[in-house]
Amino acid sequence: MSSIRPWRTIERRKSRQIMVGSVPVGGDAPITVQTMTNTLTSDAKATIDQIRRCEEAGADLIRVSCPDVESTAAFKEIARAATVPLIADIHFHYKRALEAADAGAACLRINPGNIGSDERVAEVVRAAKANGCAIRIGVNAGSLEKDLLEKYGEPCPEALVESALDHIKLLQDHDFHDYKVAVKASDVFLAVAAYQGLAEATDCPLHLGITEAGGLIGGTVKSSIGMGNLLWAGIGDTLRVSLSAEPEEEVRVGFEMLKALGLRTRGVRVVSCPSCARQGFDVIRTVEALEERLQHIKTPLSLSVLGCVVNGPGEARETDIGLTGGGNGKHMVYLSGLTDHTVEDADMLDHIVKLVEAKAAEIEAADEAAKDAGKVPAEPAE
């Protein structure tokens, strides 16, 4: 059946599906959002605390660096405490990969060509198979092999793709196929072109990322341009937004990116104006407060917050809950697109939070009732 809004349709690239622990990646599975801890992995408590915050933000997968034996020793306790699958980040030492696989890693992030001889690659593959681990091949423009740099003269899309295919062959030669691949670069143009080339060359799941993207604002912009370009073209099965910010912020940005493209829905989608002299209340501070206070909502729903009646009623018609600024400190509240009641300035924030919480509970109850009746729940509001 054709879409009633074909201009919003994204045809995802057909990729093989693998399992990372209990989470499917690729195929028709939802695009997963990852992040990475930045605590010392050897400090299990600090790492678990950070993982918990990322889980609350909605992370589907979390990567944990394992640079030394102390880290892999702590990994077992960390993996046991986590409620989402963990990916062990391995750089050069193949023994860390063996230890992490035995300690409960759902996936190993390695470059097979960097860990030594063919026998060492075979050992890692055996450990991955024995423990049900996937492998993520992580090619990076900043650490390309010397022979490829000599061949191409600089990091370029062709070099990243060739590196990825070389690493893939090492795994395939050992009859290992549960892998996903990233070809990351800090340069948006380079990363996008490399992913486009790799998407044509293989059917494996692709892990998207613009590496070393920068701080919260700059990194979000770069990541959104690069990954947004790819996601819109249907490329990408899992992603990590690499920010110089707390890991849970990476998760939130990742979900906002997917929500903007209609690829995933989680939590409150806020439609708000930039504000101007017509505003009936402080839109910027109100939105900041609402976003903070509504982080606990996981049910997809929409909220419009507009400062005046120019665009407010029109936006409210398209959202579950709407707030439009009015005169004399009285503002109009819309429910399911219809004018419903007014609210005073002093009560506005608490009132909107309660309305959102009630709407989320209503949607959840309807979904549960539909499941009990054997019916598929209706699509959430976009």
Q: Which residues are known binding-site members?
A: 273, 276, 308, 315
Rounded to the nearest 10 degrees, the angle between the axes of helix 118-131 and helix 157-172 is 70
| Residue of 49, 205, 355 lying closest to 64 (CA atoms) | 49
In angstroms, rounded to a whole number, what is the distance separating the alpha carbons of residues 104 and 93? Answer: 18
Q: Give ∠ CA 17-130-119 in degrees, rounded to 5.
A: 100
* DSSP secondary structure of 155-175: --HHHHHHHHHHHHHHHHTTT
- Within 13 Å and on the Cβ side, how many CA atoms surround 259? 21
Cβ–Cβ < 8 Å for 145, 137? no
The conformation of residue 374, written as its DSSP 8-state character, comes to T
Question: C-alpha distances in angstroms, 336 versus 350, 354, 365, 376?
Answer: 19, 15, 17, 21
Count the helix, strand and coil residues of the chain and give each as a percent rounded to the nearest 5.
45, 20, 35
Identify the H or E element spanning 208: strand 207-208
Question: C-alpha distances in angstroms, 211 versus 63, 192, 195?
Answer: 14, 12, 13
In angstroms, rounded to a whole number, what is the distance separating the alpha carbons of residues 60 and 34? Answer: 6
List the binding residues for [4Fe-4S] cluster.
273, 276, 308, 315
Which residue reads 């996936």 in tokens? 107
